[in-house]
Amino acid sequence: MSTSASHPRVIVVLGATGNQGGGVARALLKSKSWIVRAGTRDPDSPKAQKLLAEEQTNDGRLEVVAAHVYDIESLRKAFAGAYGVFAITSERHPDKKIVNEEEMQHEIEAGRNIVLAAKECNVQHFVFSSLPDMMQATSGQFPKLYHMNNKHAVEQIAREELPGKVTCLIPDDGIVRFCYPLPSDQVAQWTDPEYDMGSFAAKVFDLGIDQTRGKTYLVMGPRITPQEVVETFTRVTGQPAIHSPTSAEEFGDLTAPLVGPAFKEDATQMMQWAAVAPKGKVAYGALEPEIDRSADELGLTASSFEAWLKRSGWTGPDRE
pLDDT in tens, 234-243: 999 998 888 8
180: left (phi over 0), alpha (psi -120 to 50) or beta: beta
**To the nearest whole number, what is the mean pLDDT of the chain?**
91
Pairing label, strands 34-40, 62-66: parallel
pLDDT band per the 50, 70, 90 thresholds, residue 205 = very high
Spatial contact of 109 and 131, defined as CB atoms under 8 Å apart:
no
Decide if pLDDT at 197 tops 60.
yes
Q: How far apart are CA 41 and CA 101, in angstroms?
A: 25
β-pair type (223-224, 188-189)? antiparallel
In angstroms, rounded to a whole number, what is the distance separating the alpha carbons of residues 10 and 7?
Answer: 10
The residue among 29, 61, 28, 85 whose CA lies nearest residue 203 is 28
Interatomic CA distance for residues 288 and 183, integer angstroms: 22
Among 97-106, 249-258, 310-319, where is mean pLDDT lowest?
Answer: 310-319
**In residues, how long is the chain?**
320
What average pLDDT does range 50-64 have in this prediction?
A: 97
Short-list 175, 257, 28, CA closest to 39: 28
Position 120 pLDDT exceeds 50: yes
Which pLDDT tens digit goes with each residue over 141-160?
999 999 999 999 999 999 99
- Rounded to whole angstroms, the Cα distance separating 72 from 82 reads 16
Which amino acid, one-letter code, is at 86? F
Region for 285 from its dihedrals, namely left if φ exceeds 0, alpha if ψ lies in -120 to 50, beta otherwise: left
Residue 173 has pLDDT above 70, yes or no: no
Q: List the one residue out of 265, 262, 267 whose CA is nearest residue 99.
A: 262
pLDDT digits (tens, 9 = 90+) for 175-194: 444 566 777 788 777 778 88
Phi, psi of 194 (to 5 degrees): -85, -60
With pLDDT > 90 as the criterion, what percentage of the chain qualifies? 69
Answer yes or no: pTM beyond 0.85.
yes
Instruction: Kindly tell me if the per-residue pLDDT of 319 is higher than 80.
Output: no
Partners of 85 in the β-ladder = 12, 126
Query: What integer pLDDT is reported at residue 183 of this predicted model?
Result: 77
Rounded to whole angstroms, the Cα distance separating 258 from 56 reads 31
Decide if pLDDT at 129 tops 80.
Answer: yes
Three state DSSP letters for the chain: CCCECCECEEEEEECCCCHHHHHHHHHHHCCCCEEEEEEECCCCCHHHHHHHHHHCCCCCCEEEEECCCCCHHHHHHHHCCCCEEEECCCCCECCECCCCCHHHHHHHHHHHHHHHHHHHCCCCEEEEECCCCHHHHCCCCCCCCHHHHHHHHHHHHHHHHCCCCEEEEEECCCCCCCCCCCCCCCCEECCCCCHHHHHHHHHHHHHCHHHHCCCEEEECCCEECHHHHHHHHHHHHCCCCCCCCCCHHHHHHHHHHHHCCCHHHHHHHHHHHHHHCCCCCECCCCECHHHCCHHHHHCCCCCCHHHHHHHHCCCCCCCC
CA distance 174 to 184: 18
pLDDT at 317: 67
Q: Which is higher by pLDDT, 303 or 315?
A: 303
